[in-house]
Amino acid sequence: MPFAEFADLKSLDAARAARAARKSVEPSLGAPQSRRAMTSAMFLRHMEEVERETSRDRVGTIVSTVYPKEVEGVIRRASDTRARYLAALLDIDKRKGPLTTEDVDSLRNLRGEWEEMDHGVQYLKDAIAKGLVTIDGLAPERY
C-alpha cells in the first residue's frame, strides 16, 4: 500500500487497519475456512468410503454367505453360454444361403446371454475382491 495514495499518515493507518480486518475475515486461497471445511477431493474420497460401506452393508443384508460351489456353478453357466454362442456362430458356415431373421435373432439372443453372464462373473469377482461377498470357508484378507 503506497504512501503516496494517502493525504496523511492517519488515512494510511486507517486503510491498513481496514485491510488487516478484511484479511482476517476473508479466507485465503487454498486454506480451509475452518476445521469443518472440506475440499472437493476430500468430499469425493469421503463419498467413495460411504459407497464402499453402504455396498458392503446392503450386499451383506441381501446376499448371505456364498459357497464356493455356487461361484463355480455361475462360472460354468457363463462358460456354457459362451460355448453355445460360438457353436451357433460356427453352425452358420454349414448352411447354404443367406442368414435368416431367425438366425440373426438367435445369435443376438445367445450373445446377449453370454455378455450378461460374462458381466455378472466379472462383477462377482470384483465383489469378492472388495469383500462385499463372503465366501464360506475362506480366511479374511490381511492388509
Distance CA 131, CA 133 (A): 5
- Containing domain of residue 82, as a range? 65-132
* Predicted local confidence at residue 115, as pLDDT: 96
Q: Looking at the 3D structure of the chain, how many domains does it have?
A: 1
Residue 60 is assigned to a structural domain of this protein: no
Residue 141 CB contacts under 8 Å (≥ 6 apart), including other chains: 131
* Predicted local confidence at residue 24, as pLDDT: 47
Residue 102 is assigned to a structural domain of this protein: yes
Give the tens place of pLDDT for each residue, 80-136: 999 999 999 999 888 888 888 999 999 999 999 999 999 999 999 998 888 888 899
Residue 48 is assigned to a structural domain of this protein: no
Residue 70 is assigned to a structural domain of this protein: yes
Written as one string, the DSSP assignment of 14-67 is HHHHHHHHHHHHSPPTTS-SSTT---HHHHHHHHHHHHHHHHHHHHHHHS-PBP
Residue 55 is assigned to a structural domain of this protein: no
pTM: 0.60
* Predicted local confidence at residue 12, as pLDDT: 61
* Predicted local confidence at residue 133, as pLDDT: 87
Mean pLDDT over 10-15 rounds to 68
CB atoms within 10 A of CB 29: 5
Distance CA 143, CA 138 (A): 15
* Predicted local confidence at residue 92, as pLDDT: 87
